[in-house]
Structure 1
Amino acid sequence: MNSSKSALQISVVGGGIAGVALALDLCRHAHLEVKLFESAPAFGEVGAGVSFGANAVRAIEGLGIGAAYQAIADRTQAPWQDIWFEWRRGTDGGYLGSSIYEGVGQSSVHRADFLDVLATELPLGIAQFDKRAVSVEQSVGQRPRVTFSDGTCNECDVLIAADGIKSSIRDHVLSGLGAPLVAPRFSGTTAYRGMIDSETLRAAYRAQGIDEHLVNVPQMYLGLDGHILTFPVKQGRLINVVAFVSDRTHPNPKWPADKSWVKPTTQSEMLQAFSAWGDAVRVLLECIPHPTLWALHDLAELPGYVHGRVALIGDAAHAMLPHQGAGAGQGLEDAWLLARLLGDPQAVETAPEDLLKIYDAIRRPRACRVQRTSWEAGELYEFRDPVIGDHEPQLSSTLASRFDWVWGHDLHKDLEDARRLLNWKATPPAL
């Protein structure tokens, strides 16, 4: 434990959105010394568009990066601004319903753009690159020590692993808990991805007599063992398209260890996968000449995110399938709570192990539930829910409300609960 006159040294391993957002917030506190280690030569995100629900937007604002996000985020234009997605049959584009969250609706951004904006706000000297973590050592009550592939080491009071689904630090946490190691698992679902110039898509729809409304509002087309989502990025100039296909022939599907999770594919292969779907889908996919194919992996629910003074956040802790648009948001919720706890001056009088245990107790049940229901959402979209199947009235009513608990989560209650469990004094009101 540190004295009240000393600074807590915090090291964040992993320079994705959650890691950079956390480091950026922590840098604002005089009682913290922050370092960020990224394995790549520079910041960079894999993927294209990412959608944020209301809960994630609140976390973004709470982390002090709301203005940066709002400057580049895309939203559905009025009068559809409260719509998260419209749900449609893939076979004919028929309307099934909408998911609506008043005052927030759907919000999305290009991953790389968001990370670029955050990185420019990070103070000089905080980030170090080409630092791939390979091992961690810590003894009871002692500071953890992380070793990097270049032979250098770093000691700190608290080590935060934000290094993604392939985290090199997760094994240390699980081993410390006496739990079996957990590796990424292939879901059996692959996704064709592409970006379309929005005016190109409008012209293609007009030529085929298809309603341009499908470009204006985020869409989700549903079908047996497949679904397709679309939403705008790059200030509406591009439409992000993800077309999912699930192979259910094997109960425990495996992805070859020597095969990349992302690879180029052909338009003809993609069109063949959706050959039984309707014109709206066909024309949409015909506008993607060079798609990529992604193998979707997630993690089993972990028995703990913390061992000693080491904590997992984001995909390192709870990588999930993208079917609720919630994965990045859960990483931001992790970052928000940790930033509020570590950023409180009472943190220097608290054993780091105790603080991280409370983070785990608050965050893990919710993140695990979001993991589990993200898989269930994919089953629902692809008519494989064991109760609902393809029964349209029940499907429509379920889709209209099933995300409310994700979006409406009270982050401040989480913080109140954490402070109570830590026996901290109430925070004085801001002047």
Structure 2
Amino acid sequence: MRDSSSAMRVSIIGGGIAGVALALNLCRHTHLNVQLFEAAPAFGEVGAGVSFGANAVRAIAGLGIAGPYRKIADCTPAPWQDIWFEWRLGSDAHYLGNSIAEGVGQSSVHRADFLDALASQLPSGIAQFGKRAQQVVQNEEGVRVTFSDGSEHCCDLLIGADGIKSSIRDHVLQGLQQPLVSPRFSGTCAYRGLIDSQQLRSAYRARGVDEHLLNVPQMYLGLDGHILTFPVKQGRLINVVAFTSNRTQPNPTWPKDEPWVRTANQAEMLQAFAGWGDAARILLECIATPSLWALHDLPELPSYTYGRVAVIGDAAHAMLPHQGAGAGQGLEDAWLLARLLAYPQVVNKQPEAVLEAYDAVRRPRACRAQRTSWEAGELYEFRNPGVLDNQQMLGKELSERFDWLWQHDMHVDLLEAMKILGLHVQAA
């Protein structure tokens, strides 16, 4: 990277996976001057395992971070390596079908491990910590950010990757004269835990439950609840997430003084899944101290950009986790922006035009991912009237509904964005 008057100054607020992946790619280009600002004193991710679909794995490769990802990623062992999930009834583990992601299967990492692997590759001087964005002002010359410590920073483009509670999103919406958007509670909570696979294998044997259920990712479905499992740490641990939905309120709210994540007790978790079959119950009985997560998302935004400022990742389109798509959509955002800004020609374009092209291409797809993530949860929890009484139709729907998400060609998006910008560059 060179620091010269001709370099476009691109600054990123937020040091999560999407923000760091974008910074890591952009700082390889000599015509860009890249800075990243993180509010925390060091890089760190909240959460446990994160799953990536085939589209996200391609975005990881396109961002040039496939190497560090492969070193830490978990995948389902052969001969089940292409299975994303097997779908079963929670009541008796009856098999409904499976979803196949050829060449990818259930690909997952621990969030913190992945972020550490990315951050370790950032050149020194790119990232600054303890920098919480407090105010953003922009004009024809550029963008000025004021941080809570009183310092200021100026740049040509500002990218907000600061998560579901984004302050940069507030600036975008205010600039568009749109109402501010806050995270909304979905009415669904998730109990999470990790189980030693040998402990669980012994428990299954003792109760006569098929051990195949430990080797392959499973999704158990029931009324107003579902449970997913997949092996992690090369099969040494089984990751379990048990979702339960309270549908008594049409517009549920989460108490303002309650944390979104807390330690739960096993008894309350078991009570939430009373009446489920042995395969599901034994999983929960092996989690002595689960954590409870209140699931929030965002409504669809009218735009991801205002002038020289844009938002990516959860700041733009935080979604429910029911398709394993949230982190992947953030990586697709980063991939498209990185590809657009990789061309020196963009320096001669109005920065606003580059962000408008990003918004025009990315927002329809990300909004669809938000909608279908919610719809997937309704399907898993038997709230989709179209398949309630037809197991064959349910299995078919589950096996096919992710094709549009996984098989998307991002190079087509790039060509479309280039066309909007009036640039004719080979996309491959």
Decide whether the 8 Å contact of 1:108 with 1:232 is kept in 2: no
Give the deviation of 1:411 after TM superposition: 0.4
Corresponding position: 1:41 with 2:41: yes
Task: Report the Cα offset of residue 134 of structure 1.
Answer: 1.5
Who is 1:123 aligned against? 123
How far the C-alpha of 1:237 sits from its partner, in A, is 2.0
Q: Give the alignment of 1:19-418 within 5 angstroms.
A: 19-139=19-139, 141-418=140-417
Gaps of 5+ in 2: none
Measured on the aligned residues, the alpha-carbon RMSD in Å equals: 1.2
Matched-pair identity in %? 72
Residues 266-287 of structure 1, C-alpha deviation per residue, up to 9 Å, x if partnerless? Answer: 0011011111100011110111
Give the deviation of 1:236 after TM superposition.
Answer: 2.3
* Rounded Cα–Cα distance in structure 1 between residues aligned with 2:311 and 2:231: 31
Shift of 1:179: 1.1
Letter in 1 for 2:155: C
Contact conserved, 1:14 with 1:161, CA < 8 A, in 2? yes
Q: Which amino acid aligns with 1:373?
A: T
Verify the 8 A CA contact 1:72 1:235 in the aligned structure 2: no
Secondary structure of the corresponding residue to residue 283 of structure 2: helix
Q: How many residues align?
A: 425
CA 1:134/1:377 → structure 2, altered by over 3 Å: closer, same or farther?
A: same
> 1:394 deviation in Å?
1.1
Deviations 1:63-82 (A, max 9, x none): 00001111111111111111
The residue identity in structure 2 corresponding to 1:205 is: Y
Q: CA deviation at 1:106?
A: 1.6
- Would you say the 8 A contact 1:41–1:130 is kept in 2? yes
* Residue aligning to 2:8: 8
Preserved contact between residue 52 and residue 328 of structure 2 (Cα < 8 Å): yes
What TM-score, normalized to structure 2? Answer: 0.97
Cα contact 1:18–1:162 (8 A) shared by 2:
yes
- Determine the C-alpha separation between the residues in 2 that align with 1:207 and 1:399: 31
Name the CA distance, whole Å, in 2 between partners of 1:95 and 1:251.
32
CA distance in 1, matches of 2:379, 2:105: 21
Deviation, structure 1 residue 203: 1.7
In the TM superposition, structure 1's runs of 4+ consecutive aligned residues that sit over 3 Å from their partners are: none
Question: For the Cα contact (< 8 Å) 2:414–2:427, is it kept in 1?
Answer: no
Q: Give the whole-Å Cα distance in 1 for the aligned partners of 2:236 and 2:307.
A: 47
Structure 1: distance between partners of 2:400 and 2:258: 38
CA-CA distance at 1:390 after TM superposition: 4.6
Q: 1:386: how far off?
A: 2.8
- Conserved? CA contact 2:411–2:427, under 8 Å: no
Query: What is the TM-score when the length of structure 1 is the normalising length?
Result: 0.97
**Which string of whole-angstrom CA distances, capped at 9 and with x for unpartnered residues, describes residues 261-306 of structure 1?**
0011100110111111000111101111000111000000000000
Shift of 1:235: 2.6
Distance 2:427 2:41 in 1: 42
Quote the offset at 1:142 in angstroms: 2.7
Q: Secondary structure at the match of 1:11?
A: strand
